[in-house]
Amino acid sequence: MSNQPEQTFEHAIEANKDRIYRICRIYAVSPIEPKDLFQEVVFQAWKSYPQFACRSSIGTWIYRIALNVCLRSKMRLDKENERKVQVESIQFLPNTEGEDPAQKEKYSALRECISTLTESNRTLIILYLEELGYKEIAEVMGLTENHVAVKMKRIRAQLLDCITNKLK
Amino acid sequence: MLDKELKDIWRNSSQKEKIKFDLSRLLIDLNTKMEHLEKTIRRRDFREITACVIGFFLFGYFAYEIPFPITKAACIFAMFYFLYVVYRIKKAERKDSESGLSLSFRDQLVSRKIHLTRQADLLNSVLYWYVLPPFIMNIVFILGLGDPTVYHWEPRLLHLLPLTTPEKIKTIIILALFYSLIVWLNKRAVQKTLNPAIQEVKRVLKELENDLKSSTFDV
């Protein structure tokens, strides 16, 4: 039977799986697939879990881990990341309904627009799209709330401008 | 386009695949992976320590067997060197392997930069801490070899030892080439892998710092 911290971890991963996957989808660079990155995030989160100090919410902590793992993978900062972690108890099933073509087009446009941003702006906008408050974004990024607020205004305008042009 | 629409596009992007966890096995799987990773590291350390232990006893035997005082001294220094390498491996084992992934985006980059710079410095300086000590010991060992007949010394492997001056020079040149190769391989690893990674981290940090400055200016 699982004890309390283990259950907390399981629940946190279950509750945040879609968020982690969305981040992985943005950062996965061939030959690494979003699902490889997802498994790596879950593995690294479990590895780092003893260091989780409850100073922030577990959701915010998972964002930190996900972004840090994804960034390291993208920048090839870890040799270990080149090795794929396969966790058999995590399954990825293709959505039977299939992806709506209009939605797919919009997502491609959004992805392209996000990729034009600088690395730090990209991370900020991802957290914003995840509907994190400025305080939480500041915590994840290691910036002040004020800086996040000022920057976000500019990045949002840039992103909206880009996507509007793409979807014209 | 509105913010809300943007967020909807983003939120729907996770519908591509459905993720299912077998929660009864998830932690068991994760722990198995972690143990596997730890075992790989332990096996690597064990191999390196075993090589040092073999080296230690081999040179201990040489120190006991070889009669030439300078060569004997070189063997004893070599034994101390092997102990030093074991100490370094054990020290590295004890160091907390905390990955820094729980840190904020910015702190994690700073910590990564420090870690990668340290690694690059370590590899760039292999000449001084990894290559020169054994190379000097090898030279002393070789130059210390004298005439075995003076000591009435006739071991079975005598023919393997470089006893004449041309043999000694040839052996030293081969060793110099071998150690140069080690230095070159390490320098190449720094150039090819570590330096680009450090530059990349610096670039993102600079972006973040410039953003901070411009945001402050905007405020």
* pLDDT value at A82 more than 60: no
Q: ω before B67 within 30° of 0 (cis)?
A: no
Instruction: Average the pLDDT over A105-120 and give the result.
Output: 91
| Alpha carbon of B78: minimum distance to chain A alpha carbons (Å) | 33
Could you give phi then psi for residue B98, rounded to 5 degrees? -55, 130
Q: How far, in Å, CA of A57 to CA of B170, rounded?
A: 66
Closest of B56, B72, B203 to residue A120, by C-alpha: B203
Q: How many cross-chain Cβ pairs, A to B, lie less than 8 Å apart?
A: 191
**Of residues B18, B30, B106, nearest to A46 (C-beta):** B30
Using a CB cutoff of 8 Å and minimum separation of 24, what contacts does B137-140 make? B137/B74, B137/B77, B137/B78, B137/B81, B138/B74, B138/B172, B138/B175, B139/B172, B139/B175, B140/B70, B140/B71, B140/B73, B140/B74, B140/B77
B20 contacts chain A (CB < 8 A) = yes
Q: Is B36 exposed, middle or buried (0-12, 13-18, 19+ CB in 10 A)?
A: exposed
Q: pLDDT band for position A72 (50/70/90)? A: confident
Helix (H) or strand (E) holding B184: helix B165-189
Average model confidence (pLDDT) across chain B: 87
Cross-chain Cβ contact A91/B219 below 8 Å = no
Residue B21: partners with Cβ closer than 8 Å, 6 or more residues away: A10, A13, A14, A17, A89, A90, A91
Q: What is the pLDDT of residue A20?
A: 94
Token digits of residue A9? 């971890």
Facing residue for A10 by CB, picked from B26, B102, B116: B26
**At B21, phi and psi to the nearest 5?**
-110, 140
Calpha distance B125→A125 (Å, rounded): 41
Angle made by CA atoms B27, B29, B34, in degrees to the nearest 5: 90
How many other CB atoms sit within 10 Å of the CB of residue B20? 13
Q: DSSP labels for B6-54?
A: HHHHHHHGGGGEEEEE-HHHHHHHHHHHHHHHHHHHHHHHHHHHHHHHH
For residue A9, pLDDT over 60 is answered with yes
ipTM score: 0.84
Can you tell me the distance from the alpha carbon of A155 to that of A79, in angstroms, rounded to the nearest whole number?
32
Say if the Cβ atoms of A77 and B34 lie within 8 Å. no
pLDDT, residue A78, reads: 59
Q: Using CB atoms and an 8 Å cut-off, which of residues 108-137 of chain A contact chain B?
A: 110, 118-121, 123, 129-131
Environment class of B211 (CB within 10 Å of its CB; exposed 0-12, middle 13-18, buried 19+): buried
CB atoms within 10 A of CB B196: 13
Confidence of residue B75 (pLDDT cuts 50, 70, 90): very high
pLDDT band, residue A101 (cuts 50/70/90): confident
pLDDT digit string (tens) for B177-202?
999 999 999 999 999 989 998 998 99
